[in-house]
Amino acid sequence: MNGERKITSSHRERAAVIYPRQSAMAQVRQHTESARSQYALADKAAALGWPRTSIEVTGADLGVSGKRGVPREGFTELVTRVCSGDAGAIFGIEITRLARSSADVARLAEFARITGTLLIGPDGVCDPADVNDRVLPGFKGTMGEMELHVMAQRLHASKRAAAGRGELRTPLPAGYVHDDAGDIVIDPGAGVQAAIRDLSAAFAACGSAYGVAGAFAGRRFPLRAYGGAWAGQLRWGTLTCARVLGVLKNACYAGAYVHGRYTSRRTVDPGGTVHTTITGRPRAEWPVLINDHHEGYITWADYLASEAKLAASRTNAGARPPREGGALCQGIIYCGSCGKPLRTSYHTGARPACECSRADRLTTPACRSVAAATVGDAVAGMLLDSLTPEQVALALAAADEVAGRHQRASRAAELAVERARYEADRAERAFSQVEPENRLVARSLEARWEARLTALAEAGQALQDARDALPPLPGRAELEKLAAGLPGLWHAPETSSKDRKRLLRTLIADVALLPEPGQAKVRIGIRWHTGATDELRVTRAIHTGTARRSPSPAVEMIRQLSPVTPAAELARQLNAAGMVTGNGRPFDAKAVQWIRHACHIPAPAPCHDGEISVAEAARQLGCSTGVIYYWIQAGQLDARRGPGNRLCITWNYPIQAACRDRVAASGHLSPAARRTAPRRR
In tens, the pLDDT along 611-631 reads 888 888 888 888 888 888 998
Angle at 50 between CA 45 and CA 54, to 5 degrees: 100
Please determine, for residue 253, whether its predicted confidence score (pLDDT) is greater than 90.
Answer: yes
What CA–CA distance (Å, rounded) separates 526 from 360? Answer: 27
Angle at 656 between CA 653 and CA 660, to 5 degrees: 135
* SS3 assignment for 209-235: HHHHHHHCCCCEEEEECCCCCCCCCEE
Average pLDDT of 263-282?
82
Please determine, for residue 677, whether its predicted confidence score (pLDDT) is greater than 50.
Answer: no
**How far is C-alpha 637 from the geometric centre of its chain's CA atoms?**
75
Please determine, for residue 415, whether its predicted confidence score (pLDDT) is greater than 50.
Answer: yes
Please determine, for residue 248, whether its predicted confidence score (pLDDT) is greater than 50.
Answer: yes
Per-residue pLDDT at 256: 92
Which residues does 403 contact at the CB level (< 8 Å), separation at least 6?
A: 473
Please determine, for residue 94, whether its predicted confidence score (pLDDT) is greater than 60.
Answer: yes
What CA–CA distance (Å, rounded) separates 358 from 505? Answer: 25
Please determine, for residue 674, whether its predicted confidence score (pLDDT) is greater than 50.
Answer: yes
**Range among 223-232, 243-252, 269-278, 426-435 with highest mean pLDDT value:** 243-252
Per-residue pLDDT at 103: 73
Which residues does 580 contact at the CB level (< 8 Å), separation at least 6?
A: 551, 554, 586, 587
Which residues does 294 contact at the CB level (< 8 Å), separation at least 6?
A: 176, 183, 184, 185, 255, 257
Average pLDDT of 100-122?
81
Active site residues: 23
Mean pLDDT over the full length of the chain: 81
DSSP state of 62: B
> Binning pLDDT at 50, 70 and 90, where does residue 258 land?
very high
Per-residue pLDDT at 395: 61
Please determine, for residue 122, whether its predicted confidence score (pLDDT) is greater than 70.
Answer: yes
> Binning pLDDT at 50, 70 and 90, where does residue 672 land?
low
Please determine, for residue 309, whether its predicted confidence score (pLDDT) is greater than 80.
Answer: yes
Q: Which residues pair with 178 in a beta bridge?
A: 184
Per-residue pLDDT at 257: 93
Per-residue pLDDT at 349: 59
Q: Which of 606, 677, 620 is nearest to 648 (CA)?
A: 606
